[in-house]
Amino acid sequence: MNKKGEFDKYIKSMNKVEVGDKMKKDVLNKIRPKQKTRYNWFPRLGAATVVVALMLAIILPLGMERNTEEGQLAVLPTIDSFENLQALLGHEGSDFGRSRFNDDHIFAIGGPMDDAVVSESDGIRSSRESTTPDHSTTNIQVEGVDEADIVKTDGNYIYYISNSRIVIIDASDPKNLRIASQIEYEWRETESFSPFNIYLTNDKLVVIGTRWEERGDNYWLDLETFTPEVDVISTREDSVELTIVEEPIHRGRRHWWGGNVYTVARVYDIRNRDNVRLERVVEVEGEHLTSRMIGDNLYLVANQNIRTYRFDIYPIYELSEDAFKPSYRDTAVGEGIRRVDFSYISYFPDSISNSYLNIIGFNINNNEKANVESILGGGDIVYCSGNNLYVTRTTFEHRDSIVAEIVTGDGRRMDMRTHIYKFALNNSEATFITSGAVPGRLLNQFSMGEYNGYFRVVTTDNDRGWWSPEHDMNNVYVLDMNLDIVGRVEGLAPGESIFAARFMGDRIYMITFVEIDPLFVIDVSDPRNPIVLGELKIPWFSTYLHPYDENHLLGIGEDVELVNGWVLTNGIKLTLFDVTDESNPTARHYEKIGGRGTHSEVLHNHRAFLFSKERDIIAFPITITEDWRWEPTFVGVVVYGLDLDGGFTLRGKITHMPSNNRSWVDWDREIQRILYIGDSLITVSRGMVMSTDINTMQEIDSLEF
């Protein structure tokens, strides 16, 4: 059977396999190009621009000035086609996205992910007006812009995420704590949901989490079907996002679980707390970055890595286009997955990233379709002012040092830039407006703030890279609403980096640190001319600044000591800064808690902080160790009071640890948050909730779960 002629019979038979005219007609009908109607913002804007441009052409010769504000928006190109996406990513300008959001990152799901942190409430977070008892709310940055947390209360019930389940505790009677109900999530091999944050409104509970799904089990199918006899398997491709066993490029067998990661909001009806009901699920592809809720409008921000490795392995025609589009789902309008078309995704020609930044917004109280906005970009840190959402992304570009030295003479080797993407928020719709960039990197969400029509940002810049902190310097930038820099102060505290910042109206307070901690007071009332009013140097640092009143700031940080030239932390330090005389700030009171090794979540997460000026409560979870002994001497919360004249006083400590056991720490009894409801302090750990009398600091009741 090896002469070609012998296959004539095959050819003869095959020739009878024919496509009928009807089939051809059908397929032609299907593929005939159609006029598309687009309702999206970008194309519409494109049209608007044409009009503007025409008007300008007519008006300009008459000597009228051009209004740049609108023209700027439309310049941004959209991806439009799969080929273009591939071309764009093939010439990726920045190495940032590739390293930061590579595929292995998918496995980071499951555990609670920390939100990016952001800035600017009046700081005094107490109760909302209602008939329920006075109670605390999550410590947030901007008044009116809620941030998700692991626990929320409405004054009667406590909603808490404990080990991937939601526990709803009836705390209306602090003497008799009771579990009203629990929501549990099943872990399946091909799909899982991990809750890590919640929001609460009057009759809705929103659970934010990550859903991961393996798309079918083709991974096993592939192995069984193809591995036994075949040496190289390179023809395999699948339109669904699945595993690739790819051998041609990497030696050995490497598997990619091409599962999809979604950032999810599950909305529950909690009118009946004993029987909560899932009402709606909204999800967008990508890893959870952060979320915000303004009124009833919830916005989820996610980073979606684009699987560019597939471009290296397969030619474009083998790839399923849809798998490269951001997808989302909203059960209010149907169970199916929807995708954002390339024509709606804009990109920045000078800064190509291999990830999408996806923002999905919806109103939790109505069933109107969720709105998705995607750009080719990525995000690290998010700040939301209420009207606008700012997402930043820091990139590093190495310069040729020799050329740089010759050309600039300053030996600058690295460009560290933070790109800022601005989205307008309007009735659950996030719309990309513009982008800008500033030199340097940001610390957290408190490094940004919008005020009186200007956007301010503080950065730490370094022209040599991370490895030479002695070249750090700190800058303040004021940007206008188009994100163009209009004012700046640069080169503050050379050799130090920003540890904390807080924006309060026309003032920026900023802490930098190396060995001693300067507090800077910066006046940005004239956006074009920000000035440093004063600075204070103290031998410890703060990592979180909280407004106490208009003349005082609370700082929480760590005490340090110098040992053989090393700076070692030595306990938590509370500081009350007095900024009455802004050119001469002072540390009016301070308090040291614990010894070396003492730690608190509040040092890096402002939501672990409970503060009420009226109630005179300053409280946070803490693990105290003395003299670097490994066993903590105390695990729980500390509650302080503050008197402007008398300073800090310890009102009490609360722990969930059994008193008879000091040799080991049960981490399920490590208090995560402290709240107050009426006259009770409520503390929650993964395995327990406890109520404590706010005046006597005596335990009232506790409940294990």
Partner 1 sequence: MIYTEKRKYLNYLVEEYSDMVYRLAMARTKEKENAEDVYQEVFLRLSKKIPNFESTEHEKAWIIRVTINCSKNILSSKHLKHNVELKENIYDDNTVPDKNDEANDLYCVVLDLPLKYRTVIHLFYYEGYKIEEISKILKTKENTVKSWLSRARERIKTKMEEGAKNE
The answer to whether the CB of 399 falls within 8 A of the CB of 411 is no
Stretch that binds partner 1, among 11-19, 273-281, 442-450, 600-608 (CB under 8 A): 11-19
The answer to whether the CB of 451 falls within 8 A of the CB of 506 is yes
Which of 57, 58, 62, 232 is the binder for partner 1 (CB under 8 A)?
232
Beta-carbon contacts of residue 404 (< 8 Å; ≥ 6 apart): 410, 411, 412, 413
Q: How far apart are CA 263 and CA 304, in angstroms?
A: 10
| Contacts to partner 1 from residues 234-253, by CB under 8 A | 234-240
Q: How far apart are CB 9 and partner 1 at their closest, in Å?
A: 4
Nearest residue to 68 via CA among 47, 42, 45, 49: 49
Nearer to partner 1, 31 or 62 (CB): 31
Q: How far apart are CB 318 and partner 1 at their closest, in Å?
A: 5
The answer to whether the CB of 705 falls within 8 A of the CB of 167 is yes
Q: How far apart are CA 323 and CA 237, in angstroms?
A: 12
Instruction: Mark 625-654 with x for binding to partner 1 (rule: CB under 8 A) and - for no binding.
Output: ------------------------------
Q: How far apart are CA 271 and CA 275, in angstroms?
A: 8
Q: How far apart are CA 110 and CA 161, in angstroms?
A: 13
Which of 129, 189, 231, 350 is the binder for partner 1 (CB under 8 A)?
231
Kind and range of the H or E element at 568?
Answer: strand 566-578
Q: How far apart are CB 90 and partner 1 at their closest, in Å?
A: 15
Nearer to partner 1, 11 or 59 (CB): 11
Nearer to partner 1, 12 or 175 (CB): 12
> Which amino acid, one-letter code, is at 416?
M
Q: How far apart are CB 16 and partner 1 at their closest, in Å?
A: 3
Nearer to partner 1, 315 or 453 (CB): 315
Nearer to partner 1, 53 or 230 (CB): 230
Instruction: Mark 20-39 with x for binding to partner 1 (rule: CB under 8 A) and - for no binding.
Output: ---xx-xxx-xxxx------
Nearer to partner 1, 253 or 398 (CB): 253
Q: How far apart are CB 358 and partner 1 at their closest, in Å?
A: 22
Counting residues that bind partner 1 (by CB under 8 A) gives 46
* Rama region for 47: left / alpha / beta (φ>0; ψ in -120 to 50; rest): alpha
Can you list the alpha helix ranges (DSSP code H) found in 365-447?
Answer: 401-408
Q: How far apart are CA 356 and CA 614, in angstroms?
A: 44
**Does residue 273 sit in helix, strand or coil?**
coil
- How many CB atoms lie under 10 A from the CB of residue 189? 7
Instruction: Mark 259-298 with x for binding to partner 1 (rule: CB under 8 A) and - for no binding.
Output: ----------------------------------------
Nearer to partner 1, 9 or 175 (CB): 9
The answer to whether the CB of 625 falls within 8 A of the CB of 683 is no
Nearer to partner 1, 80 or 582 (CB): 80
Q: How far apart are CB 345 and partner 1 at their closest, in Å?
A: 16
| Contacts to partner 1 from residues 211-230, by CB under 8 A | 216-218, 221, 225, 230
Nearer to partner 1, 47 or 221 (CB): 221
**Does residue 387 sit in helix, strand or coil?**
coil
Nearer to partner 1, 215 or 606 (CB): 215
Which of 47, 50, 60, 81 is the binder for partner 1 (CB under 8 A)?
81
| Contacts to partner 1 from residues 305-334, by CB under 8 A | 315-318, 321
- 189 binds partner 1, rule: CB under 8 A: no
The answer to whether the CB of 300 falls within 8 A of the CB of 387 is no
Q: How far apart are CB 406 and partner 1 at their closest, in Å?
A: 43
Nearest residue to 697 via CA among 636, 633, 653, 648: 653
How many residues does this entry show for the chain?
705
Nearer to partner 1, 9 or 91 (CB): 9
Name the CA radius of gyration of the chain, rounded: 29
**Phi, then psi, of 538 in degrees rounded to 5:** -135, 150
Q: How far apart are CA 496 and CA 493, in angstroms?
A: 6
Site of interaction with partner 1 (CB under 8 A): 1-2, 4, 7, 9-14, 16-19, 23-24, 26-28, 30-33, 81-83, 216-218, 221, 225, 230-232, 234-240, 315-318, 321
